[in-house]
């Protein structure tokens, strides 16, 4: 497993071909996933069911041939065990309650112990690893800022008003919440590594809404602490760090002791390589899978050629695969990356 192309690319080593996995690859574009999901109860019920979560995790391996599986779960799984209720409301997304507004609210939040409070996640990983012997399993967590934004806003937001106002106006509340979330994320990711995942991805999906100054002063230190804690205990486990629309933060994030920086589709690979010394992941526009095959081939060629100049390159979309994507297009993408990735 150590010599698998994804792990070699993460370490900056050359491999026989460019490897690919796809964010949200176990998702609604798959008819089999929709069938399992319809009979599983709520979305969170599916996340809590090790047998079904393991089955869903492995679907993209069989259906589209990706080079790695990513644990089927959700960034809210550990948040739920902190004492926050998560409801997924149609047309609105996640709704979190109670909304955190005071220091006392933060102090009331628990730090879950994964072995005791999240045993289904560990069991899911163990089930996957029994059936996945030829390619890596990726574990993941949301990063403190992304989780804090949901907790402070009570759900999705376009302006991040509560999160930013708290960050600026209530430094004690902000520090206590981010510190507690850092502890939660660190324990959660370490438990996944100990259960058997081969590499991890930290999703700070919404960090791009912050200026470089605010990110560096109010967010980066907490992510850095998480990464350093994991690196100290498991130095051989590759770490991927990903955020959307965050090219202005590349120089700062290059200081993280991670192996791979994930890029969204807006981020130019060539200029990125000049700013970082990490391997890269990405970065085809998810909507490109709705284009004609010849367009997909052209775009894959461009990404692969640019990625060849990086320390290492793991092909991916620049964000999650869209629910309306034709599965045959996803399979075509994987086959195209493998073909082109062998010839350049």
- Banded model confidence at residue 1, pLDDT cuts 50, 70, 90: confident
- pLDDT tens per residue across span 152-211: 999 999 999 999 999 999 999 999 999 999 999 999 999 999 999 999 999 999 999 999
Question: What secondary structure, in 3-state letters, does 97-124 show?
Answer: ECCCCCHHHHHHCCCCCHHHHCHHHHHH
From 17, 33, 150, 188, active-site residue: 150
At residue 96 the predicted structure's pLDDT band, cuts being 50, 70 and 90, is very high
Asked if residues 280 and 269 have their Cβ atoms less than 8 Å apart, the reply is yes
Per-residue pLDDT tens over the stretch 249-288:
999 999 999 999 999 999 999 999 999 999 999 999 999 9
- Of the candidates 29, 37, 67, 222, the residue annotated as catalytic is 37
Give pLDDT tens digits for 225-252. 999 999 999 999 999 999 999 999 999 9
Q: Find the mean pLDDT for residues 139-148.
A: 98
Residue 109 CA to residue 339 CA, distance in Å, equals 49
What's the confidence (pLDDT) of residue 280?
Answer: 98
Cβ–Cβ < 8 Å for 101, 164: no
| Rounded-to-5 percentages of helix, strand, coil across the chain | 50, 10, 35
The three-point CA angle 197-198-200 to 5° equals 80
344 touches 304 (CB < 8 A): yes
pTM: 0.97
Query: Active site includes 302?
Result: no
DSSP single-letter state for residue 207? G
pLDDT given for residue 344 in this prediction: 59
Residue pointed to by tokens 């409801």: 87
Chain segment 3-32, per-residue pLDDT in tens: 999 999 999 998 889 999 999 999 999 999
Give backbone dihedrals phi and psi of 7, rounded to 5 degrees, phi first. Answer: -70, -35
Residue 294 a catalytic site member: no
Task: Give the three-class secondary structure for 281.
Answer: strand
Residue 140, domain CATH: 3.20.20.210
H helix or E strand, kind and range, residue 86: strand 85-89
Reply yes or no on whether 311 is catalytic.
no
Which residue out of 11, 28, 231, 266 is catalytically annotated?
Answer: 28
- Going by pLDDT thresholds of 50, 70 and 90, the confidence category of residue 89 is confident
Structure-token match 């259960």, residue found: 195
* Given 24, 29, 204, 264, the catalytic residue: 24
Q: Is 24 a catalytic residue?
A: yes
Query: Can you give the residue range of the structural domain that contains 138?
Result: 5-343
Quick check: is 120 catalytic? no
Phi, psi for 202 (deg, rounded to 5): -100, 115
Q: Which of 67, 74, 198, 259 is catalytic?
A: 74
Q: Scan for tokens 């062998």, then name that residue.
A: 342
- Whole-number average pLDDT of the chain: 96
Determine the pLDDT at residue 343. 65
Q: Which residue has the tokens 């998810």?
A: 286
Q: Are strands 137-142 and 199-203 parallel, antiparallel or unpaired?
A: parallel
Round to whole Å and give the CA distance between 89 and 252: 36
Q: What pLDDT digit, counting tens, does each position of 277-294 carry? A: 999 999 999 999 999 999
Number of domains in the chain: 1
- Mean pLDDT of the 117-129 span: 98
Tokens in use for 104?
């006392």
């Amino acid at each position: 497993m150590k010599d698998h192309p994804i792990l070699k690319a993460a370490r900056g080593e050359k491999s026989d071909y460019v490897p690919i996995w796809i964010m949200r690859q176990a998702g609604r574009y798959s008819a089999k996933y929709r069938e399992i999901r319809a009979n599983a109860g709520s979305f969170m019920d599916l996340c809590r069911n090790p047998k079904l979560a393991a089955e869903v995790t492995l679907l993209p391996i069989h259906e589209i041939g990706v080079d790695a599986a990513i644990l089927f779960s959700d960034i809210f799984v550990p948040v739920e065990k902190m004492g926050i209720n998560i409801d997924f409301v149609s047309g609105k997304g996640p709704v979190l309650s109670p909304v955190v507004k005071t220091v006392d609210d933060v102090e009331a939040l628990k730090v879950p112990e994964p072995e005791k409070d999240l045993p289904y996640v560990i069991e899911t990983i163990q089930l996957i690893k029994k059936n996945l012997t030829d390619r890596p399993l990726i574990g993941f967590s949301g990063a403190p800022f992304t989780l804090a934004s949901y907790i402070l806003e009570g759900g999705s937001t376009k302006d991040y008003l509560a999160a930013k106002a708290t960050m600026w106006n209530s430094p004690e509340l902000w520090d206590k919440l981010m510190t507690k979330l850092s502890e939660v994320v660190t324990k959660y990711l370490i438990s996944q590594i100990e259960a058997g995942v081969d590499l991890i991805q930290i999703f700070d999906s919404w960090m791009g809404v912050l200026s470089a100054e605010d990110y560096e002063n109010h967010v980066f230190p907490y992510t850095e602490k998480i990464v350093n804690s994991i690196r100290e205990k498991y130095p051989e486990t590759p770490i991927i760090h990903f955020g959307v629309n965050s090219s202005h933060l590349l120089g700062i994030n290059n200081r993280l002791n991670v192996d791979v920086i994930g890029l969204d589709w807006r981020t130019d690979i060539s200029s990125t390589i000049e700013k970082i010394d990490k391997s890269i992941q990405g970065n085809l526009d998810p909507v490109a899978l709705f284009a004609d095959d010849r367009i997909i081939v052209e775009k894959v060629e461009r990404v692969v050629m640019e990625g060849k100049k990086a320390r290492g390159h793991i092909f991916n979309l620049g964000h999650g695969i869209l629910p309306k994507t034709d599965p045959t297009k996803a399979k075509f993408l994987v086959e195209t990356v493998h073909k082109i990735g062998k010839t350049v």
